[in-house]
Amino acid sequence: MAGAIVHLGASVTCAHGGPAVPTVPYSRVTLSGHPVVTVAAPYEIAHCNLQAPADALRCTGGQWLQGSTRVFAGGRALVLDNSPSICVPNGAAMLVLECQTRVNAI
């Protein structure tokens, strides 16, 4: 399944709208001057907007579960805009709202 490659400047949120940022982008490969993100890079999520009771667990981090199958950076799969993900501790997904569209991978 082909998709656009996600980079450090991409707009990624948890399913509740909290901004997500990769903790360890792969800086040896860049797109438009921004490092790419591999599936090995965990994400930090700040200000999750989960509308639930006070005891509900808001998103604090996320991880991509699958990435590219034919294109790699540093031996690791790249995150694509349609890659599946999971947030901790509640199991919601992360969403890529906006990223570069010039470079795709399979």
Q: Which tens digit of pLDDT belongs to each residue from 31-53?
A: 989 999 999 999 999 999 988 77
Q: Which domains does the chain have, with CATH numbers?
A: 3-105 (2.60.200.60)
pLDDT of residue 1: 77
Mean pLDDT, to the nearest integer, of 56-78?
96
pLDDT of residue 30: 96
Q: Give Cα 12 to chain centroid, integer Å.
A: 6
pLDDT of residue 41: 96
Residue 91 has pLDDT above 90, yes or no: yes
Instruction: Quote the CA–CA distance of 19 and 13 in Å, as a whole number.
Output: 4
